Chain A
Amino acid sequence: MTTPTEQFGEFLQRDRSWHPPAYTPGYKTSVLRSPQKSLISIENSLSEITGPRFSPDELGPLDNDLILNYAKDGLPIGERILVHGYVLDENGRPVPNALVEVWQANASGRYRHKNDTYIAPIDPNFGGCGRVLTDENGYYFYRTIKPGPYPWRNQINDWRPAHIHYSISASGFAQRLITQMYFEGDPMIPDCPIVRSIPSEEAVRSLIAQLDRGAYVALDSRAYHFDLVVRGSRATLFENTIQGAK
C-alpha cells in the first residue's frame, strides 16, 4: 500500500514565500550575494531525495554538551541552559537520525572565530559548537551557555538578538536547511534586519524557542524548547516516476 507515510519519495514543494527571499536590502550583504535570475524549478530525482547518512559512532560523547566540550580549567561563564525539541517533517512525522549541528557566541557575544574582533572577551572554557543526532522519535537535546547579543557592521548600530545557529541534515539533500533560533521575550528580535528578511510574523515566531519551565533542572539550569520542521515526502498514490527509487 502506498500512503503518505511512505518513507521515501519526492518532497513537497518548498514554499518560497514563507522563507526569506534572496535579495533583502535591509541586510546589506545580501545585495551582492543574491541571484538576480529566477531559480529553475526541477522535479525531484534520486539526486534530490537521497542524502548523506550519519551514525552515532561518528559523534563524541560530549559533542552535545557545549558546557563541557571545550572546558579546559573550569566551567564557562554564563547562563546554563538546556535546549531540546523535536525534528518533524511537514506531515508531522518525527525525523529520526537527523544530524543537528549548532554554533553560537559565548555569554558576552563573542565568537571563537579568527575573524571576530569584537571587544568582548573570549571565554577560555567555551568553544561554541555542538552536534547531535535525533533519536527514533525525532528528539534532540544539548546543553549550553545562553549566548549574548553582539554588534555587527550593517547599519552602524545594528545588534543581533541572542541566537543559536542551526544546521539540519535529514534524509534527502533537498531538505538541507540552515537557520537560527532566537529566545522568547528578546526585545531585539523585531529590530534585526536578518530576522526581518523573513516576510511573515508567523514564520518569525517559528524561530523563537520557548522557555520550558517543566524541563528546568533544579538548582542547575533552565530549559528552552525548540522544534524544527523539515520538508516532508509527498504521497505517490498512482505511480512512481522517480526511477530507481523506492
Chain B
Amino acid sequence: MFRELNKPFYLKETASQTAGPYVHIGLAPKQAGFDIFENNFGNVLVTPETKGERIRLEGRVFDGSGALIRDVLLEIWQANAAGRYNHPADKQEDKPIDPSFRGWGRGTSDFQTGVYSFDTVKPGAVVGRHGKLMAPHINVWIVARGINIGLHTRVYFSDEQEANAKDPVLNGIEWVERRKTLIAERTEKDGQAVYQFDVHIQGPNETVFFDV
C-alpha cells in the first residue's frame, strides 16, 4: 500500500463480515468445547482488589421472531467505579485509574438457556462532549451468525433516573419511548445486585443501536 503525493485520500476500512456460528473457536474456545490457550479472556472484569460496587449484568438476545439467539458473543467496555477509562486518551486527571480494572470483558450466551452475563462493577459517570456529564453506562458490542457488522449499544441503569434524564446520548434519541430499551432493570439475587438487560435485535421492542 502506498500513497500518491499531494493527493489527499484515506484508505478504506476493511469490510466487515459476520462472525459466524463458530465465533467461540477463536474468541471463547472453551465454549466451543476445547482448551488451547493458557490465558483466556472472559466475562469476569473484577479481581478482589477492584474498587466499586459489584454488579452482575445479565440478559438474553432475541431475534425478530422473538426466538433466543444462543450463539451470540458480546463484549463490554466501561469506565471504573470513579468514572475513568483505563486508557491513555482519558485525561480526567481528577479521577483515579484503578490498576486492577481493565474495563473490558467478553461473554457469550449459553447454548441452552441463551443467557449471557458479566461480573463487573458499576461504572461512575464519565464527562462527555462539551463538558456534559454522561450518566453511568456500559458500552456493548454484539456479533453473531446473521449479523454482518457488529452492533453497538449502551446499557444504562434503572436506579440512575436523575442522571439518565440529563444524559446527552439518551436525550439525542428523538423517540422517547425507544430510550427505555437501553435501561437495565436493577434486581437482587442472593444478595447480589443484578441488572437485567435483554437485547431485541429486531421488531416492536427493538433495542437502540448506535452508529458510533
Contacts and interface: CB of A to CB of B under 8 A. Distances in A.
A, B assembled together: yes
Interface of A: 7-8, 11-12, 14-16, 18-22, 24, 27, 29-37, 39-53, 58-60, 63, 69-70, 86, 88-92, 101-104, 111-116, 127-129, 131, 165, 167-168, 171-174, 176-180, 194-195, 197-198, 202-204, 206-207, 227-232, 241-246
A112 B89 contact: no
Of all A-B residue pairs in the complex, the 8 with the closest CB atoms, nearest first, are A103-B26, A29-B146, A33-B146, A52-B104, A50-B87, A8-B89, A20-B148, A39-B211
A92 B27 CA distance: 27
A174 B212 contact: yes
Given A33-B202, A127-B36, 5 more contacts: A32-B65, A36-B206, A180-B20, A229-B12, A244-B126
B76 to A, nearest CB: 9
Contact of B128 (A45, A88, A92): A45
Nearest to A202: B12
B37 A60 contact: yes
12 contacts: A14-B212, A22-B148, A34-B146, A40-B211, A127-B25, A173-B212, A178-B17, A180-B20, A197-B17, A207-B15, A243-B129, A246-B91
B40 to A, nearest CB: 10
Contacts of B104: 51-52
B212 A48 contact: yes
Interface residues of B, number: 85
A79 to B, nearest CB: 19
A113 B34 CA distance: 8
Contact of A46 (B85, B154, B201): B85
B26 to A, nearest CB: 3
Nearest to B64: A32
B102 interface: yes
Contacts of A230: 13-14
A113 B134 contact: no
Contacts of A35: 151, 201-202, 206-207, 209
Contacts of B210: 39-42
Contact of B14 (A58, A70, A174, A207): A207
Nearest to B31: A114
B129 A43 contact: yes
A203 B199 CA distance: 30
Interface of B: 1, 3, 10-27, 29, 32-34, 36-39, 63-65, 67, 69, 71, 75, 77, 79, 85-92, 102-104, 111, 126-132, 134, 137, 139, 141, 143-152, 154, 169, 172-173, 178, 201-203, 206-212
B33 A112 contact: yes
B211 A19 contact: no
B15 A179 contact: yes
B147 A30 contact: yes
Contact of A18 (B12, B36, B131): B12
B11 A229 contact: yes
B118 to A, nearest CB: 14
Contacts of A177: 13-14, 16, 150
A91 B10 contact: yes
A217 B12 CA distance: 31
Contact of B91 (A37, A228, A244): A244
A113 B148 contact: no
Contacts of A40: 172-173, 208-211
A33 B150 CA distance: 11
Contact of B202 (A36, A101, A198): A36
Given A32-B63, A114-B32, A167 B27 contact: yes
A241 B39 CA distance: 38
Contacts of B33: 112-114
A29 B145 contact: yes
Given A8-B89, A127-B34, A52 B173 contact: no
A229 B149 CA distance: 15
A18 B203 CA distance: 25
- Looking at B86, B90, B150, the one whose CB has the most chain A CB atoms below 10 A away is B90
